[in-house]
Amino acid sequence: MKLKELLTERFADNLAYPTDQYLKKDLEPLKEELLKCEEFMFCDDIIFMDLPTQIIEDATYASQTFKLYDDTKFKGKVYLYNLSLTPEVYDPNLLLNPVKNGASIGPTIYDPIEFTPIKHILLTWNPEMAQDISGINKELTFKNDIHKLLDDVLENPEEYKIKGERKILLRGVCETVGRGESPSFLVGESKEHDSYMAFYLEPNGEDKDKTLTLKTKLIPKKLKNKFIEKFTKNREITTATTEEIENFIKENTEEKEEELSNRHKNALKNTFPDLEIQKEVEPQTQLEELNDYLRLLADMDNIGIRRKLFLLEGYMNKVINQLKNK
């Protein structure tokens, strides 16, 4: 069974946009039936979420919204917040196609400038039909045929109505999987934020007229506990200046300079002979020198790929010149 068939079967009386938001209280009793639907048949479990965000395996995840297609499948654990249906969507390529007897009634379309609703009726007929019948008034026959068709359309609008389609929207956290599998799987990934919104009270003015302004600052998430320890007291926000907050971030994020390893010293000395290095390094073969220099470039995280290619080109020119002089 498809998921849409199950929702239509269970909630047929309530399938009206935008009220068709099915939450935990609606879906939890249907868990076993949901797992039998084609979309969830590869899932290990469905866990229903009380809120749009949830702690999953010691990390905070925010639910994402996925539009389900005919070949959508889920895999692993699905953390489900809600299911809903989109408004009725129409294929623009089908709006001028007749539905019955060469006629159709289109959906309501809103003028983009005045936002006034517009509907259209499509009538089609064979202009050569009347000439095949002798002894009749062709123009009158055309008018009668069109009038009859229009009357039938207006008397039975549902039979001529162009049908739209409503898709299912799933909101939740789904295990990330790759495409190219059979059957194809939906790709969805939720990431935890790497920053933390810190709040502090900044004093303004002199002691007599001092006021406090609540301010915020994004800080690296790894500093969250340190910030709470330093700038809160008994779970209350303490006063601090913006300069103090910025200094706190700077002091705790600056990388400590580490002593160069022997292979880094070798690579630097052999590539940049004019560079002063405190300790003399041991001699190397040309292959060892090349390996050390490539490792050094790989460890330089603070420079871009263009700079690395420039340094590598300089090293190659140095080696070529050494070979020429031998």
* Interval 219-249: pLDDT, tens: 888 888 888 888 887 777 778 888 898 888 8
- Please, are residues 311 and 268 in contact by the beta-carbon 8 Å criterion? no
What is the bridge-based pairing of β-strands 121-123 and 211-220? unpaired
Q: What is the mean pLDDT of residues 13-31?
A: 75
Q: How far apart are CA 83 and CA 22, in angstroms?
A: 5
DSSP-derived secondary structure for 10-53: HSGGG--TTT-EE-HHHHGGGHHHHHHSGGGTEEEEEEE-SSSE
Q: How far apart are CA 170 and CA 21, in angstroms?
A: 10
Handedness of CA 113, 116, 121, 127 (dihedral sign): negative
Confidence category of residue 18, pLDDT binned at 50, 70, 90: low
Handedness of CA 243, 244, 247, 248 (dihedral sign): negative
Cα 37–Cα 58–Cα 232 angle in degrees, nearest 5: 140
Q: How far apart are CA 69 and CA 186, in angstroms?
A: 9
Q: How far apart are CA 32 and CA 71, in angstroms?
A: 21
Domain chopping of the chain, boundaries: 3-88+166-174, 92-160, 195-253, 262-325
Q: What is the length of the chain?
A: 326
End-to-end CA distance of the chain: 78
Q: How far apart are CA 252 and CA 231, in angstroms?
A: 14
* Interval 51-86: pLDDT, tens: 888 777 777 778 888 888 777 888 888 888 988 888
- pTM score over 0.85: no
Nearest Cα neighbor of 104 from 124, 85, 86, 84 is 124
Q: Which residues contact 188 (CB under 8 A, 6 or more apart)?
A: 64, 66, 173, 174, 176
Give residue 292's identity as a one-letter amino acid code. D
Confidence category of residue 196, pLDDT binned at 50, 70, 90: confident
* Interval 85-121: pLDDT, tens: 888 888 888 888 899 989 999 998 888 888 889 899 9
Nearest Cα neighbor of 302 from 255, 240, 232 is 255
pLDDT score for 180: 44
- Please, are residues 168 and 54 in contact by the beta-carbon 8 Å criterion? no
pLDDT score for 131: 57
